[in-house]
Structure 1
Amino acid sequence: MKAGTNMMIAGKIVYVFVLLILTMVMRLAGNSSSVLVMTVGNSSVLTCPVKGNLTMLTWRITPTAGGLCTLVYRVDKNATHRTTCSDNIDWTFRAGLPPALEIQQVGIAQEGNYTCEMVSTEGNFHISHYLTVLAPPRLSLSCDEQGSPVCEAVAGKPPAQLSWVPEGSSTAEEKCHDNGTVTVLSKFTACSTNVTNVTICMVSHPAGNWSQSIACCPSEKISTNVFLYACIITCILIIITLLAVIYYFKLHSDRPCHKTKPPDIAPIHSQQDDTMEVEPYTTYVQKENVIYNSMSDLTVGQNLPQDLCSGT
């Protein structure tokens, strides 16, 4: 009796173990993963292959940036439920087929992991997809101030690859944006007058390939700039020269003036002037003679003897 009980217990253990192994095998057989690639602006429908009679279907979306999004469909109630999902993601129902997940005008924000979980009469299954979103760059080709062609692949995901025809030296740089896109700028520097002036920029990207051509080497803008620079330099030199001349004259005008002494001019004497100058002198001499004679007579009179004076 005890032996029979032990056999029954052992049989149940083996049965449970086999069921566990079968469940694991079925889940492994039903589980799969894949990579989906979509381009910005396109639409797509994701389906789950259902085995047996479907009971419940759930999509779990985990974007690379943002929160978890879930969409649930219950067959018994024919009802759907969704949480924190963007407006461009929703169910789509088709006649005779289980509901599928539709993504309209996919954007970079929808990139991430998409997992479909199915509950049916044959067990539980799930399929995972990783959605990769490609953003084709905007091609821009122009000439810079030095007359060199500049090619720019704006906001591409992943970064674009740029090349030139004809081949030559070039410099490239990348600028990353917050939304995950990258702008690539390449400048073609090998300009030569021995080859054609037309250069072609070629863009390679998983979303497509593009090319544009431009002719800007040698550039007419360079000649215009050289002429402009020459005019500016000439005007500056003229202004400097004028300022120097003004400063020179101002410096010399501030010095004291040395006037030249006029030459002595001999006065012109007329005969009348000589006569006018001589007459005062003659009058003066005559007056002096009269005074002298008077004084002489007086002196003589005082010195003579008295008898002489009376006889006189």
Structure 2
Amino acid sequence: MSFLQTMSLVVCLVLFISVVTAVSVLRGETAILECEHKVPTRDSIIMITWKVRRLDNTHCYYSKAENKKFSNCSDRTEFNSTSLRIYNATVTDDGTYTCEIVTAEGTFINQISLQVLVEPSVTLLLNKLGVPECRAHGGNPAANMWWTAEAVGSISTNTAMQPDRSWTVTSTYTVTSNNVTQVTCLVSHPTFAQPQNHSISIPPNKGDKYLLLSMIPLAFLVILIIIGFLLFWTMSPRFRTCLSKEIKNTTVTQQDNNDQNKEDVEPYACYTQRINTIYNSVSEI
């Protein structure tokens, strides 16, 4: 065998053929993942390996070579020849499943993206503020949501993951016109044959009510500022009067202290004067 023939054989043996597919299954059903490449006979398989990486970053691994097997996957997972079965599929099974088959013809890699579908529960109601609120709860993947109305309004949408890894989408439609009497929320999801639409009526003058509710905090703050200013203005003359009296009392107290000190010093001055007089008289004698 020539050198080129040998190299060609080596290249064929290490040839990698990769295929990427997507599989969806409803929650609670059995997910069947198949390697796309079928080998002529099972005897030609040298080794088969499944590598599982879920969206929550957990991993499991299955390998079979001759009569040796290794697996650290859950009990709901079963391996049959080149297929992988997941019983009672849940949202936590979402992830990437990679199948590697090594045969005499080469290595075949099949990457499968598994998504477990969960139908969301859709509701439309007026929230505590009287604003239309549309909610798609507990779905996987997250639902798509949009509004139709007689006039343009302000839309706010929030998407949150629940503890069970399902999704809840909440959208509110704030009416900015008095002419709007009804709004419609439309929700699409892979589990729906067609988008669901839910409508709700808005009582008259709701737009004014929403505006009034939004202005209440600002009005309350303005009232507090005005009350504080009036209190300060009212108490200001009294404060100045009290301050003036305090200064006057302080001046009177200081004057009284000076008079007292003067009285205390005067006897000593008289005594000194008498001593000096006696001294002068003695000197003259």
Matches within 5 A, 1:84-99: 84-92=72-80, 98-99=81-82
Question: Relative to 1, partners in 2 of residues 1:219 and 1:36: Cα closer, same or farther, differing over 3 Å?
Answer: farther
SS at match of 1:172: strand
Which residue number corresponds to residue 33 of structure 2?
46
Alpha-carbon distance between aligned partners in 2 of 1:53 and 1:102, rounded to the nearest angstrom: 21
Find 2:102's aligned residue among 90, 105, 119: 119
Q: State the identity %.
A: 26
Question: Relative to 1, partners in 2 of residues 1:142 and 1:83: Cα closer, same or farther, differing over 3 Å?
Answer: same
Find 1:210's aligned residue among 182, 191, 196: 196
Aligned length: 200
Give the Å deviation of 1:101.
Answer: 1.0
Letter of the aligned partner of 1:47 in structure 2?
E
Find 1:31's aligned residue among 18, 34, 40: 18
Letter of the aligned partner of 2:96 in structure 1?
N
SS at match of 1:31: strand
TM-score normalised according to structure 2 size: 0.57
Q: Is the 8 A contact 1:169 1:189 kept in 2?
A: yes
Letter of the aligned partner of 2:188 in structure 1?
S
Give the Å deviation of 1:114.
Answer: 1.0
Question: Relative to 1, partners in 2 of residues 1:172 and 1:157: Cα closer, same or farther, differing over 3 Å?
Answer: farther
Question: Relative to 1, partners in 2 of residues 1:39 and 1:82: Cα closer, same or farther, differing over 3 Å?
Answer: farther
Which residue number corresponds to residue 134 of structure 2?
151
Ranges in structure 2 where 5+ consecutive residues have no aligned partner: 210-285
Find 1:140's aligned residue among 118, 123, 127: 123
SS at match of 1:19: helix
1:69 matched to 2:57? The reply is no
Alpha-carbon distance between aligned partners in 1 of 2:127 and 2:58, rounded to the nearest angstrom: 44
Ranges in structure 1 where 5+ consecutive residues have no aligned partner: 1-10, 93-97, 223-312
Question: Relative to 1, partners in 2 of residues 1:19 and 1:122: Cα closer, same or farther, differing over 3 Å?
Answer: closer
Give the Å deviation of 1:151.
Answer: 0.8
Which residue number corresponds to residue 4 of structure 2?
14
Q: Is the 8 A contact 2:126 2:132 kept in 1?
A: yes
Alpha-carbon distance between aligned partners in 2 of 1:120 and 1:101, rounded to the nearest angstrom: 19
SS at match of 1:51: coil
Which residue number corresponds to residue 276 of structure 2?
none
Which residue number corresponds to residue 248 of structure 2?
none
Letter of the aligned partner of 1:212 in structure 2?
H
SS at match of 2:9: helix
Alpha-carbon distance between aligned partners in 1 of 2:129 and 2:57, rounded to the nearest angstrom: 45
Structure with greater Cα Rg:
1
Give the Å deviation of 1:102.
Answer: 1.1
Q: Is the 8 A contact 2:186 2:197 kept in 1?
A: yes
Q: Deviations over 1:100-124 (max 9, x none)?
A: 2112232222122211122334343
Question: Relative to 1, partners in 2 of residues 1:140 and 1:50: Cα closer, same or farther, differing over 3 Å?
Answer: same
Q: Is the 8 A contact 2:91 2:116 kept in 1?
A: yes
1:103 matched to 2:86? The reply is yes
Which residue number corresponds to residue 283 of structure 2?
none
